[in-house]
Amino acid sequence: MATTDIRNEEVSKNNRKNDDHDDEDEYLCLVEFSHKHLDFLLPELISVLEMNGIGILNNNHDNTDAQASTTTLEDKNDTQKWRTMCRIIPLPNERSYQQETKAAPRRPFLILAFSSDYYWKRKRRQKKIQDLTNETQEATNKNDNTATNDDNDNHEDPDIATVLSRCVLVRRVIELWGKPGTTIEETAHNTRQWIHGKNSNDGGELKDQQSVSKQQQKGTIGKSIFEKACDPSQSWKITIHTLGSKFTRQEQNTMRANFAFLDLPGPVQMKNFTHEFLLIRETELDPTGSPLYPRHGHLGKGNIIPEHDARLPLACYFGRILVTRETLEQYHLKRRAYLGPTSMDSELSFIMTNLGHLQKSSVVLDPFVGTGSILVSCALRGAYCVGTDIDIRVLRGRSKDENVYSNFAQFQLPRPELIRSDNAIYHRHFRNAEPWVDAIITDPPYGKIVTILHYFVIYVLPFVLFVSY
């Protein structure tokens, strides 16, 4: 009972805190993170947004981690250089969650709010691109080259789904259909209001036509998105995501029934669908990402723990999935042709490329290249790779088929420039009058040396076995 009271009080506080934005129809995106490498979740997200010209406003919310990350952007005091701006909205029950679980792990969700202008500008640009495409097609049919595409316009407002699909630690991006609630019923009510829109015109006189246009746009984002999804030719399905808590199919159908008012005309398809809607029931997680209060005991589905089952969810979210990140399994270290005892984990390597703002044609240096595991991730980003190492044996590898170049050939990547160099005398090897690289991404040895046993197993033993054979 105390937990419910705390959460109800927190909801009212959040509502009061967001009153300043109630009159503005914002475009909301829910970011779901993977529950690993937790210290890198926000830094990677901030770096990728920054790379694509998206700034984050610091609105003094309760999320300490996010506030610390966004302060850097605000301190630059130059919002004009950003293509667009967004803000982070506090999750429901954020404060009560931190009070209830003093050593609370990070919640795997983040809400980004964009102004209504962001949505309407992107919609107008998409229509313009479609019109240009049609004109180009017509010109092609008439052998006329007068229709061209405006590349500069295509990059004015970056697509948030495309941008965040580069984040290694982002599992998926969801376009929220209404504000999140603390129950499924409340979330469904918010979705219904979002679809119907809000009448922001209070009858007062507007000063100019531009104000009329802006006033008409307020509260209609939901209508616009919903109308687009009501195409009878577009299939759909609703997925229930309960973060490890198990519910029967009948219980899940009961949850879906709250959104029956959508009444989308398209067919329901479990595979090869056009739209996938996601209903998320967020509960507390432990540091490993498992439910902190599991609904069922160790005996199976029939053994429901009443006190756990009675707990309210932290939050409920409903929206349309924009993008689900593909796994990086094909680049896992166990699939590499050449490995060493200190090869960097592939996911961490990709995270480092995002923190280093690597883009196509960037020049990157790894001064402790080793087996080149970091440079493989850099090359997959389209960067030109240069690596140095003091150990010539590591650079040469074990054989012509097992060396640093083998990993690049395996993924059909350009060969890196490898140099045997001692970084203690770096100034003798490279010009240092002006920067010649865009980023230095490396895993320093920190004075640790590979053990003799590791060296023997990796380098000496294969050679001995080969000679013996």
How do beta strands 170-176 and 27-33 pair?
A: antiparallel
- Condensed to tens digits (0 to 9), the pLDDT of residues 81-118 reads 788 899 999 999 876 666 565 555 678 999 999 988 88
Cα separation of 384 and 362, whole Å? Answer: 6
**Does the pLDDT of residue 209 top 60, yes or no?**
no
- Residues 6 or more apart whose CB falls under 8 angstroms from that of 289 comprise 35, 36, 108, 244
Q: Per-residue pLDDT tens for 48-77?
A: 999 999 999 865 444 445 444 444 444 444
* Predicted confidence (pLDDT) at residue 232 exceeds the cutoff of 90: yes
Predicted confidence at residue 181, as pLDDT, reads: 95
Q: Quick one: pLDDT at residue 300?
A: 61
As a whole-number percent, the residues of the chain with pLDDT over 70 amount to 71
- Domains of the chain (ranges, CATH numbers): 2-121+151-324 (3.30.2130.30), 329-468 (3.40.50.150)
Q: Mean of the per-residue pLDDT values for the chain?
A: 79
Q: Which of 240-254, 299-313, 451-465 has the highest mean pLDDT?
A: 240-254
Both tokens of residue 93? 């029950």
The whole-number average pLDDT for the span 266-289 is 93
- At residue 339, does pLDDT exceed 70? yes
pLDDT for position 124: 81
Amino acid letter, 407: N
Taking CA atoms, 367 is separated from 203, 228, 340, 356, 422, in Å, by 66, 51, 16, 15, 9
- Predicted confidence band at 35 (pLDDT cuts at 50, 70, 90)? confident
List of long-range contacts for 59-66, beta carbons under 8 Å, 24+ apart: 59/87, 59/88, 61/17, 61/88, 61/89, 61/90, 61/94, 62/90, 62/94, 62/95, 62/98, 63/88, 63/90, 63/91, 63/94, 65/41, 65/106, 66/42, 66/110
| Residue 447 reports pLDDT greater than 50 | yes
Higher pLDDT pick, 23 / 442: 442
Higher pLDDT, 402 or 452: 402
